[in-house]
Structure 1
Amino acid sequence: MSRSAPPAAARARGVALAVLVALLTVAAPGVLRAAGTQPYTVRIDAPDDLATLLTNYLDITRFRESAVEQAGGGELARLVAATPEQARALLRTEGYFDARVDVQTEPGDAAPRIVVTVQPGPRVVVRSVELQVTDAPDDAALKARLLSAWRMPVGTPFRQAAWDDAKNQLLVTLQEDRYAAARWVSTHADIDPTHLTADLRVQVQRGPAYTFGSLRIEGAARYPQDVAQTLWRRGVGDPYSLKDLLDYQEQLLRTTLYDAAVVEAQPLAPAPGEATSTVVPIVVKLRERPKQSIVLGVGYSADNGPRMDVEHTTRAPFGLHWIARQKIEVARSRQAASTDWTSYPLDNRYRNLVSAGVERLTSAGAPVRTETARLGRTQDTERIERLYYAEVVRSVIEASGGNVTASALSGNYQWTLRDVDNLRFPTRGLTLQAQAGAGVRYGGANDKRPFSRVYGRLTLYQPFGTLWFGQARVEGGYVAANNADGIPDALLFRAGGDDSVRGYAYRSLGVNQFGTIVGGRVLLTGSVELARSVSPGWLAAAFIDAGNASDSPADWRAVVGYGIGARWRSPVGPLKLDLAYAHQLRRLRLQLSVGVVF
C-alpha cells in the first residue's frame, strides 16, 4: 500500500530542492570555469622585476575572472585597450618614463593569448637634491646631518617607493632626535623626460628642540620602582631622543620582571596664553610578572634527540632583589640540572650572577659528566653583552678503562656583539662572540699548572636582492698549555653537529684517545650557506661546512660536510631541517634544529 508524504514533509523537500537548485545556479559558473580552460592567457615579456610588478597590478591579469562573464560584452577588448597606459603608469613608478609597451592578441588552441611586450628603456636618475630647513636655514650642522641621512643621493635611480621612503626617513631622523614636532613644508620631484633626470626639492620645518622631563612610573607593586629608575639613563633637560625611549623599554623587558612595559613621552599642555612646552615628561606603565612561575618544555634536536625540561623561576627569593632560576633538562644524550641567580639591574646596567650546575653528556665517545660553579658580573646593552666571571670546572670522562677526572679554576671575560636587523630572523649584519680566560689545573699530574684559553665565533648575514640570503661563519679556539692533561673536557673543543660541521654527529670530531673521542686544544670550523625564499616563511638552502678539532695545530685536518635544507620562520625562531653528506664518512645525516646561535 502506498503512502503519500505529509504536507509539511513535502514542503520541506520542496524548499530543500529549491535551495539546492539556487546553489547549483550560483556555483555552476565557477565549477565550469575550474573544470574548463582559462578564457584567455597573458604573457608578459619584460625583465623579471618589472614582469612581477605588471602581473600583480595590471587589470588584464587581476580581473581575469570578471572578464570571463563579461567577455561577450566587450570587456576583454576594453582591458586590452587599457593595458598600455596602465603598464606605462606602473613603469613610471619604477623610474622608466620612456618605456614602450606593445599589446597583441594571438589566437590559441582553446583561448586567445594576450602578449604584453615591454621595452623599459633607460631609467630616470637623480640629478640634484635641494634640502631646506625653513626655520633654521643657517644651521649647517643640522643640514649636513640630514643630507648624510638622505636615501636618494645624486646618481641613484628614481623610484616612487624609494622617493616616499627617503622623505619619510628624513622626517623620522628629525623626529627621533630632539625635533619631535618636525613636519614637511613641501616636497617636489621635477622629472625631465627628455634627459631622464630628476631634480628633488624638499623643505622641512624642524620645530622646537624638545628635552626630557621628569620620570613617572606606574604599576610597580611587587618589585621596587628603583629597578625602572636605575635603567633610565637620562635626566631632566637632556635632549629628547626616541631611540633612548625604545632602548629603555627594551631594557625593562630584559629584566624578566615585567610582562609588558610601555614608555610614553607626554608633552605638557600649555597654560592659556603660553607657548607649547618643550619639556617632555616620561611615563612608564608596567605590568609585572608573578613572583614565581614554572615552565614545562618539550623539544627535539638531531644533536640531543627528544627533550623535556622544567624551569622554576623566583623573582624575589627570600625577599632579595635577585632572580633565581632552577632548571632540569632530560634528553636522549644530555641530562642537566642548574641553578642561576642574577641580581636586579645595577648602575650602568650591570648585574651580579651566581650559578652552579651539573651535566652528563653522551655523544660520540665516552659519557662526560661536568660540574661547574660560577661567580661573576654581566652587562647587557642594546647590541653588546659583557660577562666577567670566575669559574670552577670539574669534568669526569667515564671511559671503559676507568674514569678520567680533570679540574680547573679560571678567570674569564666574554664579549658578544649582535649587530643584525632582526635577532630572531637575522638577514643582514653580523654577530661576534669572543672569549678569553686563564687559570690553573688542580689535582693529577699537572697540579697547579697554568693554562689559557681563547675562543671566537663570527657570523655574517647578507641579503642578495629580495629573495636570496647568504650566511657565512668562522669559529676558532685555542687552549695554550703544556698538554691537555688535567684540563676539563668542558674547556677543550670538539666539532660536529648543527651549527658546526653538519653531516657529522654532535661532538664527534675531536682527539681520538685510546679509542675514545675527547676534546682537543685546537678548534677551527667554517661554513657558507645560501638560501632562497620559496614561499612566505619558507626558504630552501644549500651549504658547505668544514673544520675539525685537534690536540695541536700540526694535527689539525679539515673534514667537509655539505648538503641542502629547508628553513621555516616559525613563531619560536628559525626551524632548520638539513640533509647533510659527510664527505670523509660517505654518509648522509638528517639534522633538525630551532633557533639562532650567537
Structure 2
Amino acid sequence: MLENVKRNVRLVARIDDNVVISDGERRRLQRKALDEIKQALQPFGYYRTTITTEFDRPTLSLVYLIELNDPVFIRSINLSMNDVAVLVEGADSNLSKLEKSADKRKGNTSEGFRKEFNEWRDQFELQSGEILNHSIYEKSKKTLLAKALRLGYFDAKYDQSSIEVGVDRATADIILIFSPGRRYQISDVVLSWEYSENADAKTKRGIDPSILSSMITLEVGKYYNSERLSETQRNLSSATFFAGVEVSLGDLNRDELQVPIVINLKPRKRKAYNFEIGVGTDTGIRASVGYENRRINTKGHNVSARYAVSEISRTAIFNYRIPYFRKPTESVNIFASQNDTFGKTRRFSSSKIGAELRHEMDGAVITYGLTASREQYSRLNRDLFDVERTTDLLIPSVQWKFTEVDDLYFPTRGWSATVELRGASEDALSDIDLMQGELDLRKLFPFGSGSFKMRLSLAGSLIDESADLPESLGFLAGGDDSVRGYRFESIGVTQNGETTVGKHAIVASVEYQHPIRDGLALAAFVDMGDAFNSNVDLKKGAGLGLRWRLPFGALRLDLASALDLEGNPLRLHFSFGADL
C-alpha cells in the first residue's frame, strides 16, 4: 500500500530522480501531494484518510502522517449478463421474431455463454461485507472478458461497470453488467509458407497440406476456441519440419460473424549436420557426428544417420522415419545399427535391423517393434576359458510410456511410468526362448520448500537355465542414473571372479531437492539396487548433490559414497536432463 503511494506522488518521484526542483515547482507539487496520496489509497478501500504535514528541520524532511481511518465496505454486488443477442454496427436492427428464433437454435446468442458466466460469478473474489479492493475488481473484470475472447465472443463488452461509493464514504455498491455478444465461427484456415532467400526448390515444395491437416485441430464452420488454436500451434511446433510456427487471427467479418485463421510456417533447413563432443562419468570422453535430411519428400519422410564413440562403446545408427500424422510424435521407423561395447563389465558386438510403429493413445506413447539381431560375445566357462558365442534373435516388443508433469523441463510435480515387454522363440527364427519385462516408475512432488523425487525400476527374464543370456539383454546396475557411488554397470552377477550380467534387476532411489537460490538447489539422496539371477543382495549408495537449472534442462552434480564397498569410497557423478 505504501509503495503504491510512493509511486503515485510526483513529488516523491522527482526527489528520487535527484532532480533540482525550483521553489515554485516544489510548492505546486506539495499542494498536489495530498490529493495524490488520497487517490493512491482508494484502490485499497480507504476513502476517508486524514493526512497531516510536518517539517523536520534537523533533516530538512517533509513528513506526511497518514491516518487510514475506517475503510469502505462492500454493501452489495450486482453481477448480471445481458441475454439479448448483440447486433453488430450496421446490421439490421429490425430482425423478425422468426430470424431471432433461428439464431437461438444455432446457439449463437449470448445465452451460449451462460455457463462460463455463472462459473465466473460463483468464483467472484469480492464478497459483500468485505473491504473494497479495486485491483481485485479490475482483475475479475479482465478474467471474464478474456474468457469470452478465448471462446470467440469478440464483441464482448461491459454495458455497465461501476463502483458506486456512498456519500458517507463508508459503503460501496459494485455493478457489472456483461454482454458477450454473439460467437464467431472460423471461416477459413490459411497456410502461409515463409522461405529464406537461399531456400532450394525441394524446400519450397513444403509439406503436403493433406499431411498437415491431421495436426490442425481448427475446423472451418466450427466456433472459434483459443484452446484449439494453441493445440494446433503446439502440434505443428513439435513436428521436425518447422523452425517457427505462428497461428494468428485474420480480420474479423462482423457482418457474418466469422474469423479466418492464418498459419505462418517457417521451414527448418532441409539438411542438417552436427558434431558433438563431451564427457560423462559413465562414458568418459565421447564424441558423435550426425546427418539428417528432415524432408525427403512432401510427405515428410525423414532420414538420419549417426556415429558415436566413447571410452566404452562405438555405435552407428541409420533411421528412416515415416510420419503418419495422426499426432506429431506418431511414426513408422525403419532402422539398422551396429554397436560394439567394450566396458569393464559388458563386452559384445551387436548388429540389428528392424522396424517400429509409434503412436499415442490417451496421453501415452505406445511403441510396437520387431527387431532382428545377431550378437557376438564371450563368456568364461567353468574351466575359466573365454568362449566366443553368437546368438541370433527375432524380437517382437511393445512399450507403453506415460508422463504427466506441470513443466516439461523443470517439473515440481508429476509422475511417469514405462512398461516394456519383449520376447523371442526358437520356433520363430531365434536361437533361444526368452521373455523379458521392465517397469520404471518415477514420482516428483513438493515437500516444504523443496521436493521429493522417487524412483523404482524392476526388470526380469524368463529363460532356460541351460541357455546364455546375450550381453545386451542382460541387466547391470550402478552409475549416474542407477545406484550412485558405484562405477557404471559395476553391480551384477559374480561368476568365476568376474562380474557379468544378471537375468533380473531392481533399482530404487529417494532424493530430496532444496532450492538455495534462483536456478540452484541442493540434493540429498539414497540409492539401492542389484542385478542378479536368483538371490538379491541390494547395494546401497548415498550422497549429496547440486542441481543447476539451465534454459534447456537441469545439470546434476553428485558426490556419492558406495556404502557396501570397503572403505565406503566416494565417486563423482555428472549428468544432464529432466527429472522425469
1:386 and 2:366 correspond: yes
CA displacement, residues 168-202 of structure 1 (integer Å, 9 cap, x when unaligned)? 4443333223434434555568999xxx9999765
Q: Which residue of structure 2 aligns with residue 531 of structure 1?
A: 514
Q: Which residue of structure 1 aligns with residue 56 of structure 2?
A: none
Give the alignment partner of residue 266 of structure 1, picking from 250, 254, 264: 250
Give the alignment partner of residue 179 of structure 2, picking from 205, 226, 229: 205
**1:451–1:134 CA distance, 2 compared to 1 (3 A):** same
Shift of 1:323: 0.2
Give the alignment partner of residue 416 of structure 1, picking from 357, 377, 401: 401
Shift of 1:312: 0.6
- Is the contact made by 1:412 and 1:435 (CA closer than 8 Å) also made in structure 2? no
**1:325–1:63 CA distance, 2 compared to 1 (3 A):** farther
Q: Which residue of structure 2 aligns with residue 500 of structure 1?
A: 482
> Which aligned pairs between 1:441-480 and structure 2 lie closer than 5 A?
441-442=425-426, 447-462=431-446, 468-480=449-461
**1:404–1:430 CA distance, 2 compared to 1 (3 A):** farther
1:540 and 2:521 correspond: yes
1:511 and 2:493 correspond: yes
> For residue 523 of structure 1, what is the amino acid of its counterpart?
I
Cα distance in structure 1, aligned partners of 2:514 and 2:7 = 24
> For residue 529 of structure 1, what is the amino acid of its counterpart?
Y
Which one has a larger percent helix, Structure 1 or Structure 2? Answer: 1
- Is the contact made by 2:218 and 2:232 (CA closer than 8 Å) also made in structure 1? no
Shift of 1:243: 1.7
Structure 2, unmatched stretches of 5+, are 50-58, 60-67, 86-108, 194-203
Give the alignment partner of residue 301 of structure 2, picking from 322, 336, 345: 322
Shift of 1:398: 5.1
> Which aligned pairs between 1:13-412 and structure 2 lie closer than 5 A?
131-135=79-83, 142-146=113-117, 148=119, 166-185=140-159, 202-219=176-193, 221-269=205-253, 275-317=254-296, 321-347=300-326, 350-363=330-343, 365-379=345-359, 384-397=364-377, 401-402=385-386, 403=388, 406=391, 408-412=393-397
**1:160–1:517 CA distance, 2 compared to 1 (3 A):** farther
Shift of 1:534: 1.0
CA displacement, residues 376-409 of structure 1 (integer Å, 9 cap, x when unaligned)? 2223589543322223355555557535655543
Give the alignment partner of residue 595 of structure 1, picking from 559, 574, 577: 577
Cα distance in structure 1, aligned partners of 2:275 and 2:375 = 28
Q: Determine helix, strand or coil for the equivalent of 1:250.
A: helix
Q: Determine helix, strand or coil for the equivalent of 2:488.
A: coil
Q: Which residue of structure 1 aligns with residue 549 of structure 2?
A: 568
Q: Determine helix, strand or coil for the equivalent of 2:421.
A: strand
Cα distance in structure 1, aligned partners of 2:325 and 2:220 = 20
Q: Determine helix, strand or coil for the equivalent of 1:481.
A: strand
Q: Determine helix, strand or coil for the equivalent of 1:172.
A: helix
Shift of 1:65: 8.1
**Length-normalised TM-score, structure 2:** 0.70
**1:57–1:295 CA distance, 2 compared to 1 (3 A):** farther
> For residue 345 of structure 2, what is the amino acid of its counterpart?
G
**1:236–1:548 CA distance, 2 compared to 1 (3 A):** same
CA displacement, residues 5-27 of structure 1 (integer Å, 9 cap, x when unaligned)? xxxxxxxxxxxxxxxxxxxxxxx
Q: Which residue of structure 2 aligns with residue 103 of structure 1?
A: none
- Is the contact made by 2:410 and 2:579 (CA closer than 8 Å) also made in structure 1? no
Shift of 1:431: 4.1
Shift of 1:131: 4.5
**Length-normalised TM-score, structure 1:** 0.68
- Is the contact made by 1:406 and 1:487 (CA closer than 8 Å) also made in structure 2? no
**1:361–1:146 CA distance, 2 compared to 1 (3 A):** farther
**1:592–1:278 CA distance, 2 compared to 1 (3 A):** farther
Cα distance in structure 2, aligned partners of 1:488 and 1:422 = 39
Q: Which residue of structure 2 aligns with residue 426 of structure 1?
A: 411
**1:254–1:67 CA distance, 2 compared to 1 (3 A):** closer
Percentage of matched positions with identical amino acids: 18
Cα distance in structure 1, aligned partners of 2:457 and 2:352 = 23
Structure 1, unmatched stretches of 5+, are 1-49, 100-110, 112-119, 270-274
Q: Determine helix, strand or coil for the equivalent of 1:433.
A: strand
Cα distance in structure 2, aligned partners of 1:413 and 1:98 = 72
**1:87–1:539 CA distance, 2 compared to 1 (3 A):** farther
Cα distance in structure 1, aligned partners of 2:393 and 2:2 = 64
Cα distance in structure 1, aligned partners of 2:74 and 2:431 = 71
Cα distance in structure 2, aligned partners of 1:301 and 1:179 = 54
Q: Determine helix, strand or coil for the equivalent of 2:224.
A: coil
> For residue 248 of structure 1, what is the amino acid of its counterpart?
T
**1:367–1:241 CA distance, 2 compared to 1 (3 A):** same
Shift of 1:515: 1.9
**1:124–1:544 CA distance, 2 compared to 1 (3 A):** farther
**1:555–1:203 CA distance, 2 compared to 1 (3 A):** farther
Cα distance in structure 2, aligned partners of 1:280 and 1:139 = 18
Cα distance in structure 1, aligned partners of 2:417 and 2:411 = 16
CA displacement, residues 294-318 of structure 1 (integer Å, 9 cap, x when unaligned)? 1222333332233322221113448
Shift of 1:331: 2.5
**1:306–1:234 CA distance, 2 compared to 1 (3 A):** same
- Is the contact made by 2:457 and 2:506 (CA closer than 8 Å) also made in structure 1? yes
Cα distance in structure 1, aligned partners of 2:464 and 2:9 = 71
